[in-house]
């Protein structure tokens, strides 16, 4: 059945010559033939700025040129568009060309298309990036193993360093602590790299504290907790329950900061402990990047204003006490 659908889909796609790139979508949609108003349930397969391709649940036999109305959802936004049947394979697939779209609806659709374009580009980069990180982790582990095997360690020194290595595994930002009596050559440098090779954020992290939710995409479940810090590249979240999956898991995270809602796609980059994870954002459109930057600037400015007010109040109190 799947192979048949792919054949039909490919054959149908040869009948259309869209000027705009198409992006894959898999959402419920409803078609309404304008002439007699009969609704037809379908799934939207791909979407472009000028039209879409859909697969109907039941056989669709309307001819090309028929006026049609389609309702669908893309990236969480509802659309209702007028169009005409551009082509049909006479079974389940048809192409729709949008017509008579208002400027406001065109702008909304263009914004969604921009996000899809960013998502498609990010997915291609992510596959290479995750593969490179996995190879890097394996190399670091091999280096540590070789270094430990090649360096004889006295039992007393082992007892001193063991807590530091364990602590590094749970707190990635804390460097291994060494006793002053130990020579630097005895400490295996690769241990610091192994502690958390995936937490490499290029932007400064801003401490925040608000409610957040992590959606596990494949499982379809959600975990609630608190967002602890935020940067343009990702965030850190502490969940109320133990986090059940490992790194490289695709997720969506939702949080509110200063009254603004954010819902961003990402991947688990680091697991600091059983309840705290680091998330790297993926598929960010230019609009979402700008919103995050503006939010970070707003939070920083608000904190700077608060500190200035507190400092001025403290200075006034000090001056009054001196008098």
Would you kindly state where each structural domain of the chain is located, as residue ranges?
2-111, 123-179+190-195, 206-308
Rounded Cα distance, 240 and 226, in Å:
8
Q: Considering the entire predicted model, what is its pTM?
A: 0.40
| Cα→Cα distances 105→2, 44, 75, 112, 273, Å | 34, 18, 15, 11, 45
Q: pLDDT: is 161 or 53 the higher one?
A: 53
| pLDDT given at position 141 | 52
Considering the domain 2-111, what is its CATH architecture? Answer: Beta Barrel (2.40)
Do the domains 206-308 and 2-111 match in fold?
A: yes
Q: What is the pLDDT of residue 137?
A: 60
Main-chain dihedrals φ then ψ at residue 314, nearest 5 degrees: -65, -40
Domain 206-308 annotated CATH 2.102.10.10: no
Mean pLDDT of the chain: 75
d(CA 219, CA 223) in angstroms, rounded, equals 11
| DSSP character at residue 49 | S
Q: Look at strands 93-98 and 206-216 and give their pairing.
A: unpaired
pLDDT higher than threshold 90 for residue 227: yes
Residues β-bridged to residue 136: none
33-114-283 Cα angle (round to 5): 120
pLDDT at 264 > cutoff 80:
yes
């Amino acid at each position: 059945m799947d192979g048949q659908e792919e054949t039909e889909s490919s054959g149908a796609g040869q009948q259309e010559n869209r000027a705009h790139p198409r992006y894959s979508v898999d959402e419920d949609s409803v078609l309404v033939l304008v002439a007699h108003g009969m609704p037809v349930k379908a799934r939207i397969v791909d979407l472009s700025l000028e039209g879409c391709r859909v697969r109907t649940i039941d056989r669709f036999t309307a001819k090309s040129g028929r006026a049609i109305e389609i309702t669908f959802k893309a990236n969480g936004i509802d659309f209702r568009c007028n169009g005409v049947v551009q082509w049909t394979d006479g079974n389940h697939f048809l192409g729709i060309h949008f017509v008579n779209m208002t400027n406001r609806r065109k702008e909304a659709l263009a914004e969604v298309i921009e996000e899809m374009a960013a998502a498609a580009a990010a997915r291609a980069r992510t596959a290479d990036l995750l593969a490179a990180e996995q190879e890097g982790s394996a190399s670091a582990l091999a280096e540590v193993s070789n270094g430990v095997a090649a360096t004889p360690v006295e039992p007393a020194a082992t007892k001193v360093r063991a807590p530091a290595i364990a602590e590094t595994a749970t707190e990635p930002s804390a460097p291994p602590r060494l006793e002053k009596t130990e020579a630097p050559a005895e400490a295996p440098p690769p241990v610091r790299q192994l502690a958390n090779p995936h937490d490499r954020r290029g932007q400064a992290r801003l401490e925040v504290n608000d409610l957040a939710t992590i959606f596990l995409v494949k499982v379809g479940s959600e975990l609630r907790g608190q967002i602890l810090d935020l940067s343009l590249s990702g965030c850190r979240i502490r969940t109320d329950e133990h986090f059940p999956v490992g790194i490289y898991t695709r997720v969506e995270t939702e949080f509110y900061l200063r009254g603004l809602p954010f819902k961003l796609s990402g991947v688990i980059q680091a697991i600091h402990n059983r309840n705290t994870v680091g998330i790297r954002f993926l598929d960010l459109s230019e609009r979402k990047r700008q919103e995050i930057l503006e939010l970070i600037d707003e939070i920083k400015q608000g904190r700077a204003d608060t500190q200035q007010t507190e400092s001025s109040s403290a200075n006034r109190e000090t001056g009054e006490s001196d008098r």
